[in-house]
Amino acid sequence: MLKFQSRTKRVKPEPTIALINIVFLMLIFFLVAAQVAPPLEQGLDLVETSDLDGREPPDSMVILADGTLKFRGADVTPAQYVTVMQEETGELAALRLVPDRELPAVKLIEIGNELRAAGVETIRLVTERSLESGS
Amino acid sequence: MQLDQPFKRRRSSLTSLIDVIFLLLLFFMLSSTFSRFGDIELTSGAGGATSGDNILAFAMLQDTGLTVNGETVSVEGLAAFIDNLKAQNGTNGLVVSVRQSASSQQLVDLLVVTRGLEGVATQLIK
């Protein structure tokens, strides 16, 4: 009985160095493999493409599948979006849109025309590059 | 008096180090994305102004697929089909009528192909 008690007292703590090694590895993995990005809308499936040039993650107006327009979490109209972007960037040469892949294309064209009527020259659609493209 | 004593280096505590690394790890895990983004221009409704005569091909995009001049064409085969038309009668414009049933995915797939067509201006109509 005495022997048993002395044994339980000698249990060593878990090695901390091994834990730090793993956490360091995970940290470096996330630093290298991912890029910091503003979150997009929940439940948004981006259009998939395979052979477009890559670009940085967007901070743009999102169009959900039912045609709802969202910008940074709030409901907007095309005119409001144009105003906000004009105040932030000071020019209106190009704007980006992030449509859901199930959004009716007619609706997308309508919104594009509204933005053009508000003075935007170039409208670019942001898509998600699927894996087979390679980068 | 205390200065006289030799400086003894104490082993710094690992706990605070781990705390900071954990914080960094959490931050990068939560704020980063693995998606790769691309973008493509939404062709303007006005279309490119081509000089001289316009010889147009008419495409219709709907959920069941794409037809060009009444013939069913796959999106992948569109480039070859238009090249063929260009060789036959000098087609220099493509009018795409987008029906209600077509989705954005289909439209972007089509735009990716038409972007690569040389000498053919694409115009989208509803």
**Contact check, Cβ <8 Å, B28/A101:** no
Alpha-carbon span B109 to A49, nearest angstrom: 7
Instruction: For chain B, say whether A24 makes contact (Cβ under 8 Å).
Output: yes
Chain B residues near residue A47 by CB distance under 8 angstroms: 104-105, 108
Instruction: For chain B, say whether A123 makes contact (Cβ under 8 Å).
Output: yes
Alpha-carbon span A22 to A28, nearest angstrom: 10
- Residue B7 in this model has a pLDDT that exceeds 60: yes
**Contact check, Cβ <8 Å, A49/B18:** no
Alpha-carbon span B55 to A112, nearest angstrom: 26
Radius of gyration of chain B (CA): 30
- For A29-71, how does the pLDDT look when each residue is reduced to its tens digit (9 = 90+)? 988 888 888 777 777 888 888 877 777 778 888 898 888 888 8
Query: Measuring CA to CA, how many Å separate B117 from each of A50, B58, B81, B113?
Result: 17, 15, 11, 7
Instruction: For chain B, say whether A20 makes contact (Cβ under 8 Å).
Output: yes
Provide the pLDDT confidence category of residue B38 given band limits of 50, 70 and 90: confident
According to the 3-state scheme, what is the secondary structure of chain A? CHHHHHHHHCCCCCCHHHHHHHHHHHHHHHHHHCEECCCCCCCCCECEECCCCEECCCCCEEECCCCCEEECCEECCHHHHHHHHHHHHCCCCEEEEEEECCCEHHHHHHHHHHHHHCCCCEEEEEEEECHHHCC
Residue pair B45/A62 in contact (Cβ under 8 Å)? The answer is no
- Residue B60 in this model has a pLDDT that exceeds 60: yes
Query: How far away is chain B from the Cα of A9, in angstroms, using its nearest Cα?
Result: 23
pTM over 0.90: no
**Contact check, Cβ <8 Å, A106/B102:** yes
Residue pair B57/B64 in contact (Cβ under 8 Å)? The answer is no
**Contact check, Cβ <8 Å, A23/B18:** yes
- For A59-109, how does the pLDDT look when each residue is reduced to its tens digit (9 = 90+)? 888 898 888 888 888 888 888 888 888 888 877 778 888 999 889 888 888
**Contact check, Cβ <8 Å, A30/B32:** yes
Residue A9 tokens read as 């007292």
Provide the pLDDT confidence category of residue B23 given band limits of 50, 70 and 90: very high
Q: Give the ipTM of the model, two decimals please.
A: 0.73
**Contact check, Cβ <8 Å, B45/A56:** no
- Tell me which residue has tokens 């219709």: B60
Query: Measuring CA to CA, how many Å separate B51 from each of A59, A68, B47, B94, B115?
Result: 38, 39, 12, 15, 19
Residue A52 tokens read as 């477009």
Q: In angstroms, how far is the first alpha carbon of chain A from the final one?
A: 65
According to the 3-state scheme, what is the secondary structure of chain B? CHHHCCCCCCCCCHHHHHHHHHHHHHHHHHHEECCCEEEEECCCCCCCCCCCCCCEEEEEEECCEEEECCEEECCCCHHHHHHHHHHHHCCCEEEEEECCCCEHHHHHHHHHHHHCCCCCEEEEEC
- For B104-124, how does the pLDDT look when each residue is reduced to its tens digit (9 = 90+)? 888 888 888 888 877 788 888
